Structure 1
Amino acid sequence: MPGPTINLTSVLVDDQAKALAFYTDVLGFEAKNDVPMGEYRWLTVVSPADPDGVELVLEPDAHPAAQVFKQALVADGVPFTSFAVADVETTYEELTARGVVFVQPPTAMGPVRTVVLDDTCGNLIQLTSFT
């Protein structure tokens, strides 16, 4: 029996509209689902390289525990999640030119290079590529 596959994962955001703009216009994801759900939306984005692949849910951080969790991670400099990119240095330069704030410059970590950025929605996000 094959194991389960990942079809959704979430990032907790403080503003869904702002998150959608950042994750699509700045990072380059594509909007997949945008369904009104009362005060919030079922809002997902996907990689343009795999539009039928794993969806990233831009999940509201309205629960008080979510906000405390996010604040603690940011205070400790811990990224909430990680995304793969082809080349960390090139991506770092391109995103810096777009005004993205990085809290860690390109750094070698064993067989990978990483950078950590502020997603403007209350999270630190790591970008990773193999060296």
Structure 2
Amino acid sequence: MKIYVTSVFGDGQNKAEKYYADVLGFKTKHNTPMGANRWLTVVSDKDPNGTELQLEPSEHPAAKPFKEALVADGIAAHSFHVQDLDAVTRNLSARGVEFVTEPIDAGPVQMAAFDDTCGNLIQLIQMKDI
């Protein structure tokens, strides 16, 4: 078994798609109308057949308080793996990404976290060579 799709709730699919594609550099893989919303997924340009991130609408009544509680507690909605955390944080900062946690040492990883502007914190992880 392997993970095929995972999702993140966003404050509007158009806003989320623009941010995840234009700012973070993901590529839209599926964009299928489904009623008022879309089956909208993005993938890494480095792994176009890899795990898809579904940009989920936040219309369910539980979505907003769930996202707000995670952010209030500093909990990331997702973690993305990177090879060079310092280079990626510099690059994303130059694109206007707001980091809420600058790169720090966290045991077997280095990590940082940013606000995705859609109501979520996203964590970047670089595994250490142990």
Shift of 1:92: 0.7
Structure 2: tracts of 5 or more residues without a match: none
Q: Determine the structure 2 residue equivalent to 1:115.
A: 112
Q: 2:18 aligns with which of 12, 18, 21?
A: 21
> Number of residue pairs matched?
128
Q: Distance in 1 between matches of 2:111 and 2:84?
A: 9
How big is each residue's C-alpha offset from its partner over 1:64-119, in whole Å with a ceiling of 9 and x where there is no partner?
A: 11111000000111111100011111111111111111110000001211000000
Whether 1:81 aligns to 2:78 is yes
Q: Determine the structure 2 residue equivalent to 1:40.
A: 37
Q: Determine the structure 2 residue equivalent to 1:52.
A: 49
Q: Determine the structure 1 residue equivalent to 2:98.
A: 101
Alignment RMSD: 0.8
Q: Distance in 2 between matches of 1:79 and 1:98?
A: 20
User: Contact conserved, 1:14 with 1:62, CA < 8 A, in 2?
Assistant: no
Q: Distance in 1 between matches of 2:50 and 2:94?
A: 29
Q: 1:5 aligns with which of 2, 6, 24?
A: 2
Shift of 1:21: 1.0
- Deviating above 4 A after TM superposition, structure 1's stretches of 4 or more consecutive aligned residues are none
Over the matched positions of the two proteins, sequence identity in percent amounts to: 55
SS at match of 1:6: coil
Shift of 1:24: 1.0
Structure 1: tracts of 5 or more residues without a match: none
